[in-house]
Copies of this chain bind each other. A is one copy, B any other.
Amino acid sequence: MKRTAAELAEHLGAKLTGDRNAVLTGVASPGRARAEDLIYLESPRHRDRAEKSAAASVIAKPGERFAGKTVLEVANPKLAFAKAAAWLLPETRTHAYVHPSAIISPSAKVAPSASIGPYVVIEDEVQIGAGTQVAAFCFLGHGARLGEDCILHPHVTLYAGARIGHRVEIHSGAVIGSDGFGYVSGEGRNWKFPQIGSVEIADDVEIGANTAIDRGSLETTRIAKGVKIDNLVQIAHNVEIGEHSIIAAQTGVSGSSTIGKSVLIAGQVGIADHCHLEDGSVAGAQAGIPTGKTIRKGQVVWGTPARPLDKFKEQYAWFARLPELADRLRKLEASTKPRS
């Protein structure tokens, strides 16, 4: 897309200083930018890189100036840059088509504006909304539903009955709706607990590569609007994740745990079953939250078992000083020993 700096300033609500007609065709890092790429400066530390960049236009904080460059002034340059990118970059939208190798059940309803790639398999009763793109090798099981303007990258599997909202993007290898992991031990073996619930993923969710989201056992696994899930994440049966929460790579959420709104979960966190993370809480990388635990609203936790971050840090500082503490204790014992 070809835009002027003035058009972008208007789109962002930014104050413009410099050439209103500077042309913008893309975004880039300062080191890679060409003249028509937009860059941004968040921290004064990187001012030099922005200054030297070939880019003609910069998003920066109010008052910043760069010799010979057009400046768009905003309070939050990184946020404005993300919005500008979404506005400037060409959509990856392919034109509507159905590859002749796709196998589509006669009972499936595929919107005419959807695009269906090669070797896609679409089973009975599946519904696919307008503008949705389904790439090669995707499997949509019996009765699965995809909303409008979704993107399924190659090799995505939707088990039967999975329901996906609008503008959901699912990366390659992700599996949605697989059986939960529930067994009852008895008579020397493990009996499978029924895994017949459903999975519902709301609008504007993004799901990373090779992530697995299980269907509910008897209930529903729910991912709310705007949730972002990274690669290789495990979401177990009956889990509920609230709006706009973020879950980084390789984290696992066990059965029946609930996660509130705008919760931030770092990488490799383990959340046991029946936990509750309230709105706005934060779990640091590799934290382990034991069965049934509640993390309070806005609380930040770290460690295994997880505790409030400041306590963890204080305790950990003393952990590092344990050899010193032990030495001091030994000296004290020696000095207070009764001399016989």
User: A: which residues have CB within 8 A of B?
Assistant: 27-29, 31-32, 76, 78-79, 81-83, 85-86, 89, 101, 103, 117-119, 121, 135-137, 139, 141, 153-155, 157, 159, 169, 171-173, 175, 178-179, 181, 183-186, 188-194, 196, 204, 206, 208-210, 212, 214, 218-219, 226, 228, 230-232, 234, 236, 244, 246, 248-250, 252, 254, 266-268, 270, 272, 285-286, 288, 290, 303-305, 307, 311, 314-316, 318-323, 325-326, 328-329, 332-333, 335-336
* Complex contacts, A304 vs chain B, CB 8 Å: 285-286, 303
* Complex contacts, A335 vs chain B, CB 8 Å: 336
Apart from the given pairs A27-B194, A190-B228, A286-B288, 9 other A-B contacts in the complex at a CB distance below 8 Å: A79-B185, A86-B192, A154-B157, A155-B155, A178-B208, A190-B226, A248-B254, A250-B250, A332-B333
* In contact, A157 and B155 (Cβ under 8 angstroms): yes
Number of copies: 3
* In contact, B172 and A172 (Cβ under 8 angstroms): no
Report the minimal beta-carbon distance from A241 to chain B, rounded to whole angstroms. Answer: 13
Report the minimal beta-carbon distance from A140 to chain B, rounded to whole angstroms. Answer: 10
Q: How far is the CA of A159 from the CA of B92 in the complex (A)?
A: 13
Q: For residue A178, which residue of chain B has the nearest CB?
A: B209
* Complex contacts, A155 vs chain B, CB 8 Å: 137, 139, 155, 157, 175
Report the minimal beta-carbon distance from A84 to chain B, rounded to whole angstroms. Answer: 9
* Complex contacts, A189 vs chain B, CB 8 Å: 204, 226, 244
* In contact, B184 and A89 (Cβ under 8 angstroms): no
Pick the residue among B175, B196, B285, B328 that contacts A288 (CB under 8 A). B285
Knowing A28-B218, A139-B137 are in contact, say whether A305-B316 is a contact too (CB < 8 A): yes
Report the minimal beta-carbon distance from A153 to chain B, rounded to whole angstroms. Answer: 7
* In contact, B325 and A336 (Cβ under 8 angstroms): no
* Complex contacts, A219 vs chain B, CB 8 Å: 29, 31-32
Pick the residue among B119, B157, B272, B329 that contacts A267 (CB under 8 A). B272
